[in-house]
Each structure stands twice: as C-alpha cells, then as structure tokens.
DNA sequence: ATACTCCCCTGAGAGC
DNA sequence: TGCTCTCAGGGGAGTA
C-alpha cells in the first residue's frame, strides 16, 4: 500500500532509468486502468513521447512528457517494473510501455485499483483528481493555524481526517497510525477538539516520520515493494501499526476500526484529551 | 457542506 | 483437500 514515502521512492528509482527515454509503443490489457481517455487515444497520444521528468504530488506519480503529463496512482498494489519485452507477460501486468532502449516499463496491479490519467501538458494540477489535493507535508503554508482552521467543526475522528487528501497529502493508513502515536493523540479524538499544540505535533510528527521513511526507501508491508526489488526498510521501524506491545510503555496495542480502517494505538500513551 | 456507505478487485488466511 | 467467509484499504460515486 504505497503512501507518500513509497511513491517518492518509486519516483526516485524510476527517474534514474526513464529520464530521456522515448516511449516507442504502449499496450493496455485492462482498459479500466486508464481513467480519462479511451485505450486507443491513450496509446496514440503516448507513442513517440519522451519522458522529460518525473514528479510526485501526494500519492500521485507524475511522468512529464513532451506534450502530455501522465498521472498515475498506485492505490493498493500498483507497481512499475522494468523488464525485457521478451519476458512473458504475467496476468497482473496491465499496461506496458516499450522504450527506445529496448526495455519495457510494465505496470502491474494485482487488484486493479490503480488509475492513470493523461493530460495535455501543464493542466494536470487544475484538473480532477489532482486539483483537490492538499498541501505537501513540507509546504510552508502547512502550519498549525491552517490545520486548526481546516479541522474546525469537523465532527469526525482525527484518524479519518488525516487520511483526507485534500487537507494534507500523502498520508495513508499505516503512517496515520504512526503519526498519531508519536503525537500522543488518540485516533478517535474529534478533529475539532484538537488544540493548536496537537496540530503542531501532528505537523512535526508527519515530517519526521515521512522523512525517515523516505530515507529508508519506504515501507514493505503486505504486498508493497518498490520496483526493481528495492525493499523498503521502514517496516521494522513501525512503532504502533500492526504491533503487539507499545514500544514506550509495553501496554498491549489496541486495534479498532475507524472510518472503516484498521487502527492501532496505545491506550496509555494516546489520550483523547 | 458534511458525513456516511458502497464499490471496485484479488489473494491470503482462517475455519470447518 | 477444498470449500466459504472475511479481510486488506485509497478514493470516487452516490445518498441522506
């Protein structure tokens, strides 16, 4: 389940191989992956486009091309691999990009949740779905004042609001638990009840945890691995998600469902008020 | 506007 | 062994 650090890792790995490469041919085996184009248009537009630059916005991966921007969300299980085109296609590889160096970039997605959008160059930030993505964790405009304002009147648990991409982008279910643990905030505390100090802690914890995770190449948990077999090492650093006992006080970690998502927390270290 | 639920998919693991 | 059931969860769509 790629969250911001995993997508950043994929971006950094892919750009080393893809910058300057031309897309010679494209094949789409599961058209639903392509969200805002027909399969034929998607293929037609991408042929002969050169990959100029890679980018990331929240959990979205962006390929800047000559005349288009390709926006890709990996959702739960999306992965990119570079393979020899002769290698047999496996049943979870749904989109392939033949490159001018004879290699093939393949998009694999077991559960087919991932989506790709293709936009004429320059407009992707103004169009759905990127237009409503909130600040990056390191954006200077992300302050405790901003968060407090966004959380005002929100009668939903902070855990749920951390997953709202329109406020702060890039946090998923695993890091949300980690961020709340480090911030000593109970996942069920209502967003509107957060103090300025809570908001300050959240921002600091988010930057620290996501930053460390990026340095370690993302988390490998369940099905996620970054492409090229680069396994993230952050999993062994998870403090609360999927853990049995609190690393601070040894209290058994509790698991509850919040907003339909598995949520782990320490009832001793994380108080509602 | 806000806060819900449902849905998309497949594979792993549990239980019988 | 093999069946059925539950769970994993990001985010878009639909609804009250």
Give start-end residues of each CATH 3.20.190.10 domain in chain A. Answer: 4-131
Tell me: the pLDDT tens digits for A221-240? 333 344 444 444 455 578 99
Domain A4-131: give its CATH superfamily.
MutM-like, N-terminal (3.20.190.10)
pLDDT, residue A75, reads 92
- To the nearest 10 degrees (0 to 180), the angle between helices A196-215 and A144-151 is 110
Q: Which of residues 92-151 of A touch strand C (CB under 7 A)?
A: 111, 113, 129, 132
Give the DSSP per-residue string, A90-151: PTTEEEEEEETTS-EEEEEETT---EEEEEETT-TTTSTTGGG--B-TT-TT--HHHHHHHH
User: In the annotation, is A3 catalytic?
Assistant: yes
Average confidence score pLDDT of chain A: 90
Minimum-distance residue to B3 (CA–C1')? A156
Q: Give the integer Cα–Cα distance in Å for A243 and A156.
A: 25
Residues in chain A: 273
The pLDDT assigned to A217 comes to: 75
Q: Scan residues 212-251 of chain A and list those with Cβ within 7 Å of strand C.
A: 222
- CATH level 2 (architecture), domain A144-265: Orthogonal Bundle (1.10)
Give the containing element (helix H, strand E) for A181. Answer: helix A173-182
With distances taken from each CA to the C1' atom of nucleotide B9, the closest residue turns out to be A111
Tell me what pLDDT residue A226 has.
Answer: 41
Model pLDDT, residue A11: 93
* CA distances, A219 to each of A4, A26, A119, A237, A243 (Å): 10, 30, 30, 9, 15
pLDDT digit string (tens) for A207-217?
Answer: 999 999 898 87
Low-confidence spans in chain A with pLDDT less than 70? 1, 218-236
The tens digit of pLDDT for each residue in A141-177 reads 999 999 999 999 999 999 999 999 999 999 999 999 9
Return the sign of the alpha-carbon dihedral for residues A25, A112, A107, A120. Answer: positive
CB of A190 lies under 7 Å from some atom of strand C: no
Catalytic residue among A22, A57, A228, A261: A261
Q: Give ranges for CATH 1.10.8.50 in chain A.
A: 144-265
């Amino acid at each position: 389940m790629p969250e911001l650090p995993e997508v950043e890792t994929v971006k950094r790995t892919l750009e080393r191989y893809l910058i300057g490469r031309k897309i010679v041919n494209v094949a789409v085996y599961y058209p639903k992956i392509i969200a805002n184009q027909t399969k034929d248009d998607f293929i037609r537009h991408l042929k002969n486009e050169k990959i100029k630059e890679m980018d990331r916005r929240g959990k979205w991966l962006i390929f800047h091309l000559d005349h288009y921007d390709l926006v890709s969300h990996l959702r739960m299980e999306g992965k990119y691999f570079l393979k020899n085109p002769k290698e047999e296609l496996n049943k979870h590889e749904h989109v392939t990009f033949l490159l001018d160096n004879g290699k093939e970039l393949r998009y694999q997605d077991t559960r087919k949740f991932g989506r790709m959008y293709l936009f004429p160059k320059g407009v992707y930030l103004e169009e759905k779905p990127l237009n409503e993505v909130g600040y990056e964790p390191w954006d200077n405009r992300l302050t405790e004042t901003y968060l407090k304002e966004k959380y005002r009147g929100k009668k939903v648990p902070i855990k749920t609001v951390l997953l709202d991409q329109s406020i702060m982008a890039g946090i998923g279910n695993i890091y949300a638990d980690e961020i709340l643990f480090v911030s000593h905030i109970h996942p069920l505390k209502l967003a509107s009840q957060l103090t300025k100090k809570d908001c300050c802690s959240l921002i600091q914890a988010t930057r620290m945890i996501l930053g460390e995770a990026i340095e370690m190449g993302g988390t490998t948990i369940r099905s996620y691995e970054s492409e090229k077999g680069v396994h993230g090492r952050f999993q062994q650093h998870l403090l609360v998600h999927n853990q049995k006992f609190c690393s601070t006080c040894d209290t058994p970690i509790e698991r509850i469902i919040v907003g339909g998502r598995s949520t782990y927390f320490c009832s001793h270290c994380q108080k509602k008020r």
